Structure 1
Protein backbone atom coordinates (compact mmCIF):
# COMPACT_ATOMS: atom_id res chain seq x y z
CA UNK A 1 0.00 0.00 0.00
CA UNK A 2 1.25 3.45 -0.88
CA UNK A 3 0.54 6.07 1.76
CA UNK A 4 1.41 9.67 2.45
CA UNK A 5 2.73 10.59 5.85
CA UNK A 6 0.28 12.32 8.17
CA UNK A 7 2.31 15.52 7.84
CA UNK A 8 1.98 15.49 4.03
CA UNK A 9 -1.74 14.83 4.35
CA UNK A 10 -2.10 17.71 6.81
CA UNK A 11 -0.01 19.93 4.53
CA UNK A 12 -2.49 19.41 1.69
CA UNK A 13 -5.36 20.29 4.05
CA UNK A 14 -3.55 23.43 5.24
CA UNK A 15 -2.67 24.52 1.71
CA UNK A 16 -6.32 24.14 0.65
CA UNK A 17 -7.29 26.34 3.59
CA UNK A 18 -4.58 28.85 2.65
CA UNK A 19 -5.89 29.03 -0.90
CA UNK A 20 -9.26 30.28 0.40
CA UNK A 21 -7.67 33.11 2.40
CA UNK A 22 -7.76 36.65 1.07
CA UNK A 23 -4.77 37.63 3.15
CA UNK A 24 -2.41 36.12 5.65
CA UNK A 25 -3.24 33.35 8.06
CA UNK A 26 -1.44 32.52 11.28
CA UNK A 27 -0.69 29.05 12.52
CA UNK A 28 -3.36 29.56 15.18
CA UNK A 29 -5.95 30.60 12.55
CA UNK A 30 -5.18 27.48 10.53
CA UNK A 31 -5.24 25.27 13.60
CA UNK A 32 -8.68 26.59 14.53
CA UNK A 33 -10.01 26.19 10.98
CA UNK A 34 -8.68 22.64 10.45
CA UNK A 35 -8.53 21.17 13.99
CA UNK A 36 -4.89 20.22 13.41
CA UNK A 37 -2.86 20.90 16.59
CA UNK A 38 -1.08 24.28 16.51
CA UNK A 39 2.46 22.85 17.02
CA UNK A 40 1.93 20.51 14.07
CA UNK A 41 0.57 23.36 11.95
CA UNK A 42 3.61 25.52 12.80
CA UNK A 43 5.99 22.70 11.86
CA UNK A 44 4.24 22.14 8.52
CA UNK A 45 4.04 25.86 7.70
CA UNK A 46 7.77 26.23 8.28
CA UNK A 47 8.50 23.28 5.97
CA UNK A 48 6.17 24.66 3.30
CA UNK A 49 7.94 28.01 3.63
CA UNK A 50 11.35 26.37 3.19
CA UNK A 51 9.89 24.57 0.16
CA UNK A 52 8.98 27.89 -1.43
CA UNK A 53 5.22 27.37 -1.28
CA UNK A 54 4.45 29.86 1.48
CA UNK A 55 5.76 33.29 2.34
CA UNK A 56 6.16 34.18 6.01
CA UNK A 57 5.19 37.67 7.14
CA UNK A 58 6.41 38.99 10.49
CA UNK A 59 4.78 41.52 12.75
CA UNK A 60 1.44 42.20 14.36
CA UNK A 61 -0.52 41.30 11.24
CA UNK A 62 1.93 38.62 10.23
CA UNK A 63 1.25 35.08 9.22
CA UNK A 64 1.62 33.07 6.04
CA UNK A 65 0.40 33.49 2.49
CA UNK A 66 0.76 31.44 -0.68
CA UNK A 67 3.97 32.34 -2.49
CA UNK A 68 2.32 31.85 -5.89
CA UNK A 69 -1.21 31.32 -7.23
CA UNK A 70 -3.00 28.09 -6.29
CA UNK A 71 -3.17 26.99 -9.93
CA UNK A 72 0.65 27.03 -10.03
CA UNK A 73 1.04 24.75 -6.98
CA UNK A 74 0.67 21.00 -7.44
CA UNK A 75 0.02 18.23 -4.96
CA UNK A 76 3.50 16.93 -5.85
CA UNK A 77 4.99 20.29 -4.78
CA UNK A 78 3.26 20.03 -1.41
CA UNK A 79 4.22 16.41 -0.77
CA UNK A 80 7.84 16.99 -1.77
CA UNK A 81 8.11 20.03 0.52
CA UNK A 82 7.15 17.81 3.45
CA UNK A 83 8.36 14.30 2.61
CA UNK A 84 11.10 14.93 0.06
CA UNK A 85 11.25 13.37 -3.40
CA UNK A 86 8.36 11.11 -4.38
CA UNK A 87 9.68 7.57 -4.47
CA UNK A 88 7.82 4.31 -4.03
CA UNK A 89 10.88 2.32 -3.00
CA UNK A 90 14.02 3.29 -1.13
CA UNK A 91 16.28 2.00 -3.87
CA UNK A 92 14.70 4.25 -6.50
CA UNK A 93 15.74 7.37 -4.60
CA UNK A 94 18.92 9.04 -5.74
CA UNK A 95 22.00 7.95 -3.88
CA UNK A 96 22.80 4.60 -2.37
CA UNK A 97 20.49 2.18 -0.64
CA UNK A 98 21.17 -0.39 2.05
CA UNK A 99 19.72 -3.23 0.00
CA UNK A 100 22.04 -6.21 -0.39
CA UNK A 101 20.73 -6.84 -3.93
CA UNK A 102 21.51 -3.32 -5.13
CA UNK A 103 24.30 -4.36 -7.52
CA UNK A 104 22.35 -7.15 -9.21
CA UNK A 105 18.79 -5.84 -9.09
CA UNK A 106 17.18 -5.65 -12.51
CA UNK A 107 14.18 -3.68 -11.24
CA UNK A 108 15.99 -0.72 -9.70
CA UNK A 109 16.28 1.28 -12.96
CA UNK A 110 12.68 0.44 -13.85
CA UNK A 111 11.29 1.91 -10.64
CA UNK A 112 12.19 5.36 -11.97
CA UNK A 113 9.58 4.87 -14.70
CA UNK A 114 6.93 4.12 -12.08
CA UNK A 115 8.07 6.98 -9.83
CA UNK A 116 7.91 9.39 -12.76
CA UNK A 117 4.37 8.29 -13.61
CA UNK A 118 3.18 8.76 -10.01
CA UNK A 119 4.93 12.12 -9.71
CA UNK A 120 3.51 13.21 -13.07
CA UNK A 121 -0.02 12.38 -11.95
CA UNK A 122 0.48 14.37 -8.73
CA UNK A 123 1.95 17.29 -10.70
CA UNK A 124 -1.26 17.39 -12.77
CA UNK A 125 -3.44 17.91 -9.68
CA UNK A 126 -3.32 21.60 -8.81
CA UNK A 127 -4.15 23.13 -5.45
CA UNK A 128 -6.83 25.26 -7.12
CA UNK A 129 -8.65 22.09 -8.21
CA UNK A 130 -8.44 20.52 -4.77
CA UNK A 131 -9.58 23.66 -2.99
CA UNK A 132 -12.48 24.31 -5.38
CA UNK A 133 -15.99 22.97 -4.96
CA UNK A 134 -16.31 19.20 -5.28
CA UNK A 135 -18.51 19.40 -8.34
CA UNK A 136 -16.02 21.60 -10.22
CA UNK A 137 -13.71 18.75 -11.10
CA UNK A 138 -13.74 15.06 -11.76
CA UNK A 139 -10.25 13.67 -11.16
CA UNK A 140 -11.19 10.17 -12.29
CA UNK A 141 -12.36 11.50 -15.66
CA UNK A 142 -9.20 13.61 -16.03
CA UNK A 143 -6.92 10.64 -15.34
CA UNK A 144 -8.91 8.39 -17.66
CA UNK A 145 -8.56 10.97 -20.46
CA UNK A 146 -4.83 11.31 -19.78
CA UNK A 147 -4.43 7.50 -19.92
CA UNK A 148 -6.20 7.40 -23.29
CA UNK A 149 -3.93 10.16 -24.63
CA UNK A 150 -0.84 8.32 -23.38
CA UNK A 151 -2.04 5.11 -25.01
CA UNK A 152 -2.55 6.90 -28.34
CA UNK A 153 0.91 8.41 -28.14
CA UNK A 154 2.50 5.04 -27.32
CA UNK A 155 0.87 3.27 -30.27
CA UNK A 156 1.61 6.03 -32.78
Structure 2
Protein backbone atom coordinates (compact mmCIF):
# COMPACT_ATOMS: atom_id res chain seq x y z
CA UNK A 1 0.00 0.00 0.00
CA UNK A 2 1.26 3.43 -0.90
CA UNK A 3 0.79 5.66 2.11
CA UNK A 4 1.86 9.21 2.84
CA UNK A 5 3.27 10.12 6.22
CA UNK A 6 1.18 11.84 8.86
CA UNK A 7 3.54 14.79 8.58
CA UNK A 8 2.57 15.24 4.91
CA UNK A 9 -1.09 15.08 5.86
CA UNK A 10 -0.50 17.72 8.54
CA UNK A 11 1.37 19.87 6.02
CA UNK A 12 -1.68 19.87 3.73
CA UNK A 13 -3.92 20.75 6.70
CA UNK A 14 -1.62 23.64 7.70
CA UNK A 15 -1.43 24.92 4.12
CA UNK A 16 -5.21 24.72 3.77
CA UNK A 17 -5.60 26.75 6.96
CA UNK A 18 -3.05 29.32 5.80
CA UNK A 19 -5.03 29.62 2.59
CA UNK A 20 -8.09 30.71 4.56
CA UNK A 21 -6.23 33.47 6.40
CA UNK A 22 -5.74 37.00 5.11
CA UNK A 23 -2.61 37.88 7.06
CA UNK A 24 0.18 36.19 8.94
CA UNK A 25 -0.41 33.21 11.23
CA UNK A 26 1.82 32.08 14.03
CA UNK A 27 2.59 28.44 14.70
CA UNK A 28 0.58 28.50 17.96
CA UNK A 29 -2.41 30.00 16.11
CA UNK A 30 -2.18 27.37 13.38
CA UNK A 31 -1.89 24.62 15.99
CA UNK A 32 -5.02 25.87 17.75
CA UNK A 33 -6.94 26.24 14.48
CA UNK A 34 -6.01 22.83 13.09
CA UNK A 35 -5.78 20.68 16.22
CA UNK A 36 -2.23 19.65 15.27
CA UNK A 37 0.34 19.86 18.08
CA UNK A 38 2.42 23.04 18.03
CA UNK A 39 5.81 21.27 17.74
CA UNK A 40 4.48 19.36 14.74
CA UNK A 41 3.15 22.55 13.14
CA UNK A 42 6.56 24.19 13.67
CA UNK A 43 8.31 21.23 12.01
CA UNK A 44 5.88 21.26 9.09
CA UNK A 45 6.32 25.02 8.63
CA UNK A 46 10.09 24.61 8.62
CA UNK A 47 9.90 21.97 5.86
CA UNK A 48 7.40 24.00 3.85
CA UNK A 49 9.54 27.12 4.23
CA UNK A 50 12.67 25.32 3.02
CA UNK A 51 10.68 24.19 -0.03
CA UNK A 52 9.51 27.73 -0.73
CA UNK A 53 5.84 26.94 -0.12
CA UNK A 54 5.46 29.28 2.86
CA UNK A 55 7.26 32.44 3.92
CA UNK A 56 8.21 33.23 7.48
CA UNK A 57 8.20 36.80 8.75
CA UNK A 58 10.29 37.49 11.84
CA UNK A 59 9.49 39.92 14.60
CA UNK A 60 6.86 40.53 17.25
CA UNK A 61 4.17 40.73 14.58
CA UNK A 62 5.65 37.92 12.53
CA UNK A 63 4.26 34.63 11.44
CA UNK A 64 3.79 32.60 8.29
CA UNK A 65 1.94 33.09 5.03
CA UNK A 66 1.63 31.23 1.76
CA UNK A 67 4.38 31.91 -0.76
CA UNK A 68 1.81 31.54 -3.55
CA UNK A 69 -1.90 30.73 -3.83
CA UNK A 70 -3.01 27.20 -2.99
CA UNK A 71 -4.17 26.56 -6.56
CA UNK A 72 -0.50 26.90 -7.59
CA UNK A 73 0.79 24.40 -5.02
CA UNK A 74 0.78 20.84 -6.34
CA UNK A 75 0.28 18.01 -3.87
CA UNK A 76 3.49 16.47 -5.22
CA UNK A 77 5.43 19.56 -4.05
CA UNK A 78 4.13 19.14 -0.51
CA UNK A 79 4.99 15.44 -0.48
CA UNK A 80 8.54 16.10 -1.71
CA UNK A 81 8.96 18.93 0.82
CA UNK A 82 8.02 16.70 3.74
CA UNK A 83 8.76 13.09 2.73
CA UNK A 84 11.34 13.49 -0.01
CA UNK A 85 11.27 12.13 -3.56
CA UNK A 86 8.18 10.25 -4.70
CA UNK A 87 9.03 6.68 -5.68
CA UNK A 88 7.44 3.28 -5.18
CA UNK A 89 10.70 1.40 -4.90
CA UNK A 90 14.17 2.32 -3.68
CA UNK A 91 15.88 1.28 -6.91
CA UNK A 92 14.46 3.97 -9.16
CA UNK A 93 16.05 7.05 -10.66
CA UNK A 94 19.52 5.52 -10.92
CA UNK A 95 19.85 4.67 -7.22
CA UNK A 96 22.08 1.70 -6.52
CA UNK A 97 23.21 -0.36 -3.58
CA UNK A 98 19.84 -0.46 -1.88
CA UNK A 99 18.93 -4.04 -2.77
CA UNK A 100 20.82 -7.31 -2.52
CA UNK A 101 19.19 -8.68 -5.69
CA UNK A 102 19.98 -5.56 -7.71
CA UNK A 103 22.47 -7.21 -10.09
CA UNK A 104 20.04 -9.97 -11.08
CA UNK A 105 16.75 -8.08 -10.90
CA UNK A 106 14.61 -8.64 -14.02
CA UNK A 107 12.53 -5.48 -13.43
CA UNK A 108 15.28 -3.04 -12.51
CA UNK A 109 14.70 0.26 -14.25
CA UNK A 110 11.22 -0.72 -15.36
CA UNK A 111 9.50 1.00 -12.44
CA UNK A 112 10.28 4.43 -13.89
CA UNK A 113 7.07 4.68 -15.98
CA UNK A 114 5.00 3.72 -12.94
CA UNK A 115 6.73 6.30 -10.78
CA UNK A 116 6.33 8.94 -13.48
CA UNK A 117 2.60 8.22 -13.69
CA UNK A 118 2.21 8.56 -9.92
CA UNK A 119 4.24 11.77 -9.82
CA UNK A 120 2.18 13.23 -12.68
CA UNK A 121 -1.08 12.28 -10.99
CA UNK A 122 0.00 13.91 -7.73
CA UNK A 123 1.22 16.99 -9.59
CA UNK A 124 -2.21 17.37 -11.17
CA UNK A 125 -3.88 17.76 -7.76
CA UNK A 126 -3.41 21.06 -5.94
CA UNK A 127 -3.74 21.82 -2.27
CA UNK A 128 -6.69 24.03 -3.23
CA UNK A 129 -8.41 20.93 -4.64
CA UNK A 130 -8.12 19.32 -1.22
CA UNK A 131 -8.85 22.47 0.79
CA UNK A 132 -12.05 23.27 -1.12
CA UNK A 133 -13.84 19.96 -1.48
CA UNK A 134 -16.94 19.78 -3.60
CA UNK A 135 -20.09 19.92 -1.55
CA UNK A 136 -21.58 16.54 -0.79
CA UNK A 137 -25.04 17.82 -1.65
CA UNK A 138 -24.01 18.68 -5.20
CA UNK A 139 -23.23 15.03 -5.96
CA UNK A 140 -25.92 13.38 -3.90
CA UNK A 141 -28.61 11.76 -6.01
CA UNK A 142 -32.03 13.26 -5.59
CA UNK A 143 -34.37 11.17 -3.52
CA UNK A 144 -36.97 9.35 -5.55
CA UNK A 145 -40.47 10.76 -5.58
CA UNK A 146 -42.71 8.89 -3.15
CA UNK A 147 -44.71 6.24 -4.85
CA UNK A 148 -48.42 6.14 -4.03
CA UNK A 149 -49.36 2.63 -3.10
CA UNK A 150 -52.75 1.41 -4.21
CA UNK A 151 -55.13 0.66 -1.36
CA UNK A 152 -55.63 -3.01 -0.93
TM-score by length of 1: 0.82
Distance 1:106 1:49 in 2: 40
The answer as to 2:50 corresponding to 1:50 is yes
Q: Which has the larger helix fraction? A: 1
Does the aligned pair in 2 maintain the 1:56–1:63 contact within 8 Å?
Answer: yes
Specify the alignment match of 1:91 in structure 2: 91
RMSD: 1.7
Matched residue SS, 2:55: strand
Shift of 1:70: 1.2
Structure 1 residues 10 and 93, CA gap change in structure 2 (3 angstroms): farther
Distance 2:94 2:32 in 1: 38
Distance 1:32 1:123 in 2: 29
Specify the alignment match of 1:73 in structure 2: 73
- Kindly name which structure, 1 or 2, has the bigger radius of gyration based on alpha carbons: 2
Structure 1 residues 40 and 93, CA gap change in structure 2 (3 angstroms): farther
Residues 3-152 of structure 1 mapped to structure 2, 5 A cutoff? 3-135=3-135
Distance 1:106 1:34 in 2: 46
Distance 1:26 1:94 in 2: 41
Specify the alignment match of 1:154 in structure 2: none
Structure 2: segments with no counterpart, 5+ residues: 139-152
Structure 1: segments with no counterpart, 5+ residues: 139-156
The aligned length equals 137
Shift of 1:97: 3.5
TM-score by length of 2: 0.84
